Amino acid sequence: MSVLDSMEAYLASDDYQNALQAPDVEPLRQYYYVGVLRKLRAQKEEQLGHPLYACTKTFGCQMKARDSEKIEGILKSAGYHLTEKEEEADVIIYNTCTVRENANTRVYGRLGYLNSLKKKKPHLMIILCGCMMQEAHVVEKIQKSYRFVDLIFGTYNVYQLAELMVRRMQSKKMVVEIWNKELGIVEELPTERKYSFKSGVNIMFGCNNFCSYCIVPYVRGRERSRDPKEIVEEVKRLADDGVVEIMLLGQNVNSYGKGLAEPVSFAQLLRMVSEVEGIKRIRFMTSHPKDLSQELIDAMAELPKVCKHLHLPVQSGSSRILKQMNRHYTKEQYLDLVKRLREAIPDISLTTDIIVGFPGETEEDFEETIDVVKQVEYDSCYTFIYSKRTGTPAAKMENQVPEDVIKDRFSRLLKVVGESSEKRTGLHLGQTVSVLVEEPNEQDDAMVTGRMDNNLLVHFRGGKRLIGQIVDVQLIECRGFYYIGELVLEN
Residues that bind ligand SF4 (CB under 6 A): 207, 209-211, 214, 216-217, 251-252, 288
Which H or E run contains 433?
strand 432-440
Smallest distance, Å, CB 445 to ligand SAH?
35
Smallest distance, Å, CB 370 to ligand SAH?
16
SS3 234: helix
- CA 244 to CA 434: how far, in whole Å? 13
HEC string of 249-292 equals ECCCHHHCCCCCCCCCCHHHHHHHHHCCCCCCEEEEECCCHHHC
Q: What is the CA 249 to chain-centroid distance, rounded?
A: 8
Smallest distance, Å, CB 329 to ligand SF4?
12
Q: Which is nearer to ligand SAH, 36 or 131 (CB)?
A: 131
Measured torsion, CA atoms of residues 324, 330, 331, 332, in degrees rounded to the nearest 10: 160
Smallest distance, Å, CB 199 to ligand SF4?
22
Best CA proximity match to 234, nearest among 257, 262, 202 = 202
Smallest distance, Å, CB 309 to ligand SAH?
15
Q: Which is nearer to ligand SAH, 32 or 213 (CB)?
A: 213
Residue number closest to ligand SAH, CB atom = 353
Q: Which is nearer to ligand SF4, 199 or 286 (CB)?
A: 286
Binding stretches for ligand SAH (CB under 6 A): 99-100, 213-214, 216, 251-252, 286, 288, 313, 315, 353, 355, 384, 386-387, 389
Chosen from ligand SAH, ligand SF4, none, partner binding at 210 (C-beta under 5 to 8 Å by type): ligand SF4
CA distances from 490 to 243, 361, 469 (A): 18, 51, 8
Smallest distance, Å, CB 290 to ligand SAH?
10
Q: State the DSSP code for 87.
A: G
Which H or E run contains 332?
helix 331-344
Q: Which is nearer to ligand SAH, 131 or 164 (CB)?
A: 131
Smallest distance, Å, CB 318 to ligand SAH?
15
Whether the bond into 286 is cis, omega within 30 of 0: yes
- CA 302 to CA 308: how far, in whole Å? 11
Best CA proximity match to 92, nearest among 57, 138, 40 = 57
Chosen from ligand SF4, ligand SAH, none, partner binding at 113 (C-beta under 5 to 8 Å by type): none
In this structure, the strands spanning 349-356 and 151-153 are unpaired
Q: Which is nearer to ligand SAH, 305 or 389 (CB)?
A: 389
Chosen from ligand SAH, ligand SF4, none, partner binding at 371 (C-beta under 5 to 8 Å by type): none
- CA 329 to CA 76: how far, in whole Å? 45
Chosen from ligand SAH, ligand SF4, none, partner binding at 63 (C-beta under 5 to 8 Å by type): none
Chosen from ligand SF4, ligand SAH, none, partner binding at 386 (C-beta under 5 to 8 Å by type): ligand SAH
